[in-house]
Amino acid sequence: MNPHIIIIGGGISGLATAYYLQQQAQAKNLSLTYTLIEKQPTFGGKIITDTADGFVIEGGPDSFISQKPWARQLCQELGLQERLIGTNDEQRKTFILHKNRLQALPDGVMLIIPTRFMPFALSPLISPWGKLRMGLDLFIPSKSDDEDESLADFIRRRLGNEALEKIAEPLMAGIYVADPTTLSLQSTFPRFRQIEKKYGSLIKGMLAQQKATSKSTQPKLPLFMTLRGGLTELVTTLVSKLKGELLTNQTVTRLEYEPTASQPYQVQLANGQIYRANAVILATPAFVAADLLKPHHPALAEKLKNIRYLSTATVSLAFNKAEISHPLNGFGFVIPKKEDTRLMACTWVSTKFSHRAPTDQILLRVFIGGYSHEDLVDLPDDELLSVVKEELKKIMGITARPTRQRLYRWPNGNAQYDVGHLERVAEIASLVQETFPQLYLTGSAFLGVGLPDCIYQGQQTAEKVSQDFGPG
C-alpha cells in the first residue's frame, strides 16, 4: 500500500508543505498520497484578502520580504511572475510618533542602524546625546559569548536606550508585535549578531554591506513584494496545483498513535470520521499541536504550550481622497510604547502599493493589540473602530467619514519568539523524533514567522518526509 500522509492545517505552511511534498514525490518517483485538513471554510490561514469595488484589502499579511527568496520563488514557480508587484520604493519613508507628532525616520537608517551621517545628524527624532550614544557603536567591543539575549539588551548594549525606545522598539513591534525585552535576538535578527561579530560594529557592518550591494550587478528588488490582487492569489493558485485530498471545514480533534500498526497514526475529525496515515504533519499553531499531543506526551505538549502567542487586529479604512489633507508621503508610521496612544502602527496602503484602492480613494491599515495593548482586541466592533478613528484624528488630523471599513481579529495569532526560542524548538524536535517516528511539526511557531520562512520550512519538511519514505 502506498504511504498516506495527513497534513493538519491549511495555512501557508501546510499548503507549501503539500505542494513541495508533491514535487518531491514526483522528482523521486515516490508513490504517496496525502490529505490536507483545514478547520476553516477556506485555505490560507492568516492570509485573507477582500477584493471588491477596486479595493484590495488584506486582513493578515500584506507582503513578504524579497531578501528571503522562498515566497518570491514559489510565486514564480506557480506562474505568478507577472502578478508580482513591489512596494513603491520612491515613496519609502517611515514615520515615528514622537511627542504626538510624526517624525520621519532619517534617510539612510537601515533597519535601525544609521548609515548616513547628515540626515541622521539633522533629525530631530533623537537627542544629541542619543546620537552620540549610537555613534559609540563604532568603538564598543563585541560580546564575547554566543548566548542568546533579548533584542532590547542587544540594542541597548550597542546603540543605547534612546535608539531602543524611539526606533527599534516600534519598528520591531511592527514586525513581531513583540516586547523587545523578551524577544530572542538569535531567532529573529541573527544577522545583527553576525554583523557585530564580523565587523565589531553595526554601523561599520551596514556600511560594508551597502558598499557590496552597490557593486552588485543583480537587479535591485523592492524590499517587500506582494501580488497585484492580494496574497490570496498565492493561496488560490497553490490550492489549484494540489492533487491530494483537500478538506476544509474539518477540525482535527484527536490524534492516536499505535506504533505497531501498519498505518500507525489515526486522525479523528470533529464529525467523528477517522483517517489512518503512515505519517502526520502538524502545520497548526503550537498550542493546537500541544492539545493533540498532550494525551501521549504531556512534557512535549508543555514545551509546545510554552511558545507564547499574542492577539492582534487590523482595521482597514478607506476615505475619499478629496477629504484627506494629510499628504500620506510615506509607507506609514509606527508608535513607541511610551507614546500616549492605543495604536501600534498604521500603513498608508495606497502609497505603499499600487492597485490597492480606486484613484479617488485612499486606504489606511491600522494595527492594534500586540504586547502593549492586547486587551483592545476584545473590544466590541464599534468600540474598536471608535478607538481607531479617535487616534487617527489626533495623529493624522482625519475627521472624514470612512467610505469603507474592515476589521480582522487575530486572537492568539502571533507566535512570540522569546529568548531561548531556538533551544526550545530544538528540544521539541528531539522529543518528537524520539517518540513519534514520521510525525513532523512545521509552521510559524518554529523557525520564522514571515511568509518566506513558513514556505521554506514547508520545503524542508517535505524534503524530510520524502527522504523518510524514499527508497532504502
Q: Which residues of this protein are in contact with ligand FAD, per CB under 6 A?
A: 8-14, 37-40, 45-47, 60-64, 251-252, 283-285, 288, 312, 314, 410, 413-414, 443-444, 449-451, 454
Count of alpha carbons within 13 angstroms of residue 321, beta-carbon side: 12
Parallel, antiparallel, or unpaired: how do β-strands 332-334 and 94-98 relate?
parallel
Q: Is the Cβ of residue 61 or residue 170 nearer to ligand FAD in the bound state?
A: 61
- Write out the three cell numbers for 335: 508608535
Q: Is the Cβ of residue 88 or residue 142 nearer to ligand FAD in the bound state?
A: 88
Q: Smallest distance, Å, CB 250 to ligand FAD?
A: 7
Q: Smallest distance, Å, CB 141 to ligand FAD?
A: 34
Q: Smallest distance, Å, CB 102 to ligand FAD?
A: 21
**CA–CA gap between residue 373 and residue 390 (Å, rounded):** 16
Q: Smallest distance, Å, CB 305 to ligand FAD?
A: 14
Q: Smallest distance, Å, CB 177 to ligand FAD?
A: 8
Residue with cell 509546545: 304
Neighbouring-strand partners of residue 309: 415
110, 226, 319, 336 from 92: Cα distances, Å: 12, 16, 21, 20
**CA–CA gap between residue 356 and residue 12 (Å, rounded):** 22
Q: Is the Cβ of residue 344 or residue 396 nearer to ligand FAD in the bound state?
A: 344
Q: Is the Cβ of residue 207 or residue 429 nearer to ligand FAD in the bound state?
A: 429
Q: Smallest distance, Å, CB 369 to ligand FAD?
A: 9
3-state secondary structure of 170: helix
Q: Is the Cβ of residue 50 or residue 107 nearer to ligand FAD in the bound state?
A: 50
Strands (E), 176-236: 224-227
- Write out the three cell numbers for 118: 547628515
Contact between 220 and 212 (Cβ < 8 Å) = no
Q: Smallest distance, Å, CB 142 to ligand FAD?
A: 30
Q: Is the Cβ of residue 126 or residue 364 nearer to ligand FAD in the bound state?
A: 364
Q: Smallest distance, Å, CB 461 to ligand FAD?
A: 11
Q: Is the Cβ of residue 248 or residue 341 nearer to ligand FAD in the bound state?
A: 248
Q: Smallest distance, Å, CB 401 to ligand FAD?
A: 25
With CA atoms as reference, report the closest residue to 356 among 318, 313, 400. 318
Residue with cell 558598499: 211
Contact between 452 and 64 (Cβ < 8 Å) = yes
DSSP H or E run through 395: helix 381-396
In this structure, what DSSP letter does residue 141 have?
P
Parallel, antiparallel, or unpaired: how do β-strands 33-37 and 245-247 relate?
parallel
Residue with cell 485573507: 48
Q: Is the Cβ of residue 18 or residue 151 nearer to ligand FAD in the bound state?
A: 18
Q: Is the Cβ of residue 17 or residue 115 nearer to ligand FAD in the bound state?
A: 17
**CA–CA gap between residue 288 and residue 252 (Å, rounded):** 9
Q: Smallest distance, Å, CB 458 to ligand FAD?
A: 8
Contact between 445 and 7 (Cβ < 8 Å) = no
Parallel, antiparallel, or unpaired: how do β-strands 345-347 and 332-334 relate?
antiparallel
In this structure, what DSSP letter does residue 62 have?
-
Q: Is the Cβ of residue 61 or residue 230 nearer to ligand FAD in the bound state?
A: 61
3-state secondary structure of 282: strand
Q: Is the Cβ of residue 13 or residue 123 nearer to ligand FAD in the bound state?
A: 13
How many H helices and E strands in the chain? 17, 22
Q: Smallest distance, Å, CB 232 to ligand FAD?
A: 12
